[in-house]
Amino acid sequence: MKRLFLSCAWLALLAPCAWTQANLKSPSGAAASRGAAGIGRLSLPVADPSFPGDKPGTSLRPPELARLTFPKPGLTPRAAEVRTEPTAAQGPQAAKPGVIAQNARRSLVGFNESVRAAQSLRSPSGVPEDFAAPIAPMAENPLGGRRDGARPALDHASLSDKIWKHAAARGFALGPPALATGEQDSAARVPLPAAASSQSRQAADAVAASVSAAETEPSSAARVLKPYLGGLGAMQLGLEAMALVIPQLTKTLGESFLVMAGVASVGFGALMLGSLLGGPLVDRLGLRASYRGLLVLRTAAAAVFSLCFLTGSMSLPALAVLFGLDYLFLGGCRIAEAVLPRTLYPRSPLGVKRFGTAQQALIESMGFLGPLAAGLVIAWQGFAAIAIAYPLLLGAGAVMLWTFLPLPGKSQAAGKAQPRGLGMDWRSIQEAWTTLRAHPFIGRAALGFALVSILTYCLYFMIAPAFGLFAAGSAPAAATVNSQVTGLFAGGGMAGTWLMLWLDARMKRRLETVPENQRPQAAERSLLRATARWTMAASIGGLGGCALALGAGGAALPMILLGTAIMGLTTCSALVHLENVVKNNAPAEVQGTLMGLVRAAMNLASIIGFFGLGAIFKAFSILSGTALVPTGMAFAVVAGGFVLFSLAMAWIAHGLRRAQSRLL
574-632 pLDDT per residue, tens: 998 898 888 877 777 777 778 888 888 888 899 999 999 989 988 888 766 556 778 88
Q: For position 114, what pLDDT does the model report?
A: 52
Which one, of 255, 329, 335, lies nearest residue 299 by Cα? 329
> Does any domain span residue 301?
yes
CB atoms within 10 A of CB 348: 26
> Do 135 and 253 have their domain in common?
no
| Three-class DSSP category at 143 | coil
**Boundary of a domain, candidates 123, 143, 163:** 143
> Does any domain span residue 605?
yes
> What tens digit of pLDDT does each residue of 331-359 get?
899 888 888 887 777 777 777 778 888 88
> Minimum mean pLDDT among 12-26, 41-55, 209-223, 519-533: which range?
41-55
What's the pTM? 0.59
Fill in the amino acid letter for 148. Answer: D
What is the extent of the structural domain holding 121? 43-72+83-143
> Does any domain span residue 282?
yes
| Three-class DSSP category at 290 | helix
Mean pLDDT of the chain, nearest integer: 71
> Does any domain span residue 132?
yes
Q: For position 222, what pLDDT does the model report?
A: 63
> Do 126 and 241 have their domain in common?
no
Which one, of 120, 90, 123, 118, lies nearest residue 104 by Cα? 118
| Three-class DSSP category at 634 | helix
Q: For position 425, what pLDDT does the model report?
A: 64
| Three-class DSSP category at 497 | helix
> Does any domain span residue 28?
no
Say whether pLDDT at 170 is over 50: no
> Do 120 and 236 have their domain in common?
no
> Do 119 and 261 have their domain in common?
no
Q: For position 329, what pLDDT does the model report?
A: 94
Q: Evaluate whether 501 touches 358 at the Cβ level (below 8 Å).
A: yes
Say whether pLDDT at 421 is over 60: no
> Do 510 and 597 have their domain in common?
yes
> Minimum mean pLDDT among 134-138, 257-261, 455-459, 555-559: which range?
134-138
Q: What angle do CA 633, 639, 644 make, to 5 degrees?
A: 140
CATH of the domain at 622: 1.20.1250.20
Per DSSP, the residues of 161-184 read HHHHHHHHHTT-TT-SPPPP-TT-
- Cα–Cα dist 278/295, whole Å: 12
> Does any domain span residue 17?
no
* Percent of the chain whose predicted confidence (pLDDT) is above 90: 15
> Do 367 and 509 have their domain in common?
yes
Domains contained in the chain, number: 2
Q: CB pairs under 8 A, 24+ apart, for 424-430?
A: 424/276, 424/277, 424/280, 425/280, 425/283, 425/593, 428/279, 428/280, 428/283, 428/589, 428/590, 428/593, 429/276, 429/593, 429/597
> Do 288 and 394 have their domain in common?
yes
**Boundary of a domain, candidates 143, 171, 188:** 143
First-to-last alpha carbon distance for the chain, in angstroms, is 103
> What tens digit of pLDDT does each residue of 108-150 get?
444 455 545 555 554 444 444 444 444 444 444 444 444 444 4
Fill in the amino acid letter for 347. Answer: R
> Does any domain span residue 170?
no
**Boundary of a domain, candidates 143, 167, 187:** 143
More confident residue, 234 or 432: 234
* Percent of the chain whose predicted confidence (pLDDT) is above 70: 61
> Does any domain span residue 290?
yes
> Do 126 and 243 have their domain in common?
no
> Do 322 and 449 have their domain in common?
yes
> Do 469 and 382 have their domain in common?
yes
